[in-house]
Amino acid sequence: MQNKGSKPVAVVTGGSAGIGAAVAEKLLQQGYQVINLDIQPGPGEYKACDVSKVAEVHQVIAGVQADYGRIDLLVSNAGRHLSADIEQTTEAMLDELFALNVKGAFAAVQAVLPQMKQQRDGVILLMASDQAVIGKRNSFAYNLTKAALASMARTTALDYASFNIRCNAICPGTIDTPLYQQAIARYCAKSGREVSEVHREEAAEQPLGRLGKPEEVAALVAFLASPEAAFITGSLQLIDGGYTAQ
């Protein structure tokens, strides 16, 4: 085993764009050695990895453990959205979304736990959604996957509390990311509506009158990973501008 330094080590999946990139950048600023598992390069030490493939995730994370001798934080962020109701959702679409959003998180959590148990210390943060606690129209499969991540956070927190491993789910509302922009563009292309009008409507739906920023989610990640959050585990941490309070 090599030891590349004394910095805390964070594994971030899907860390090359949007919320994931903001998280990786924030953790780098906080002094972490960030290992970014993604299918495209981004901040931190990039490791090409398709997180929907369990064996690939285990192999890459085993390499991180061998290189650094520690894993202090996992941020399981990789995922994507699907706009469709249950009738519009094919079996193939459901399988593909679960493979990325749920099985990807399963693989990453499973892979980091042996090292964290050995350390008797670690933090696991799963990027869920406000849809972990509420339903939204035209979002059947995505809603299912995010509810699954909420369940994963609770059960993992309970199963590994005796090892001083904390696990929480972060539940962002509508955040202005490339994925959000792409979803709006697809909707407008299908409906014929003006992009600017839809953006205004989305902002108006939030009690704070605007969309969230990836950097705001990253700040919550940094707090939950810190010693100041040492008594927080098994929780769903909403960051949605008050949307679910309505």
Catalytic residues: 142
Query: What interhelical angle do 140-160 and 91-98 show, nearest 10?
Result: 30
Non-local (6+) Cβ contacts of 240 within 8 A are 130, 171, 172, 173, 174, 206, 212
In degrees rounded to 5, what are phi and psi of residue 151?
-65, -40
**Residue 28 is encoded by which pair of tokens?**
């780098």
Altogether, the residues listed in the chain come to a count of: 246
3-state SS, residue 40: coil
CA–CA distance, 137 with 129 (Å, rounded to integer)? 14
Pairing of strands 9-13, 33-38: parallel
**Residue 43 is encoded by which pair of tokens?**
């901040």
CA–CA distance, 128 with 91 (Å, rounded to integer)? 22
**Residue 195 is encoded by which pair of tokens?**
């992009």
CA–CA distance, 220 with 239 (Å, rounded to integer)? 8
3-state SS, residue 168: strand
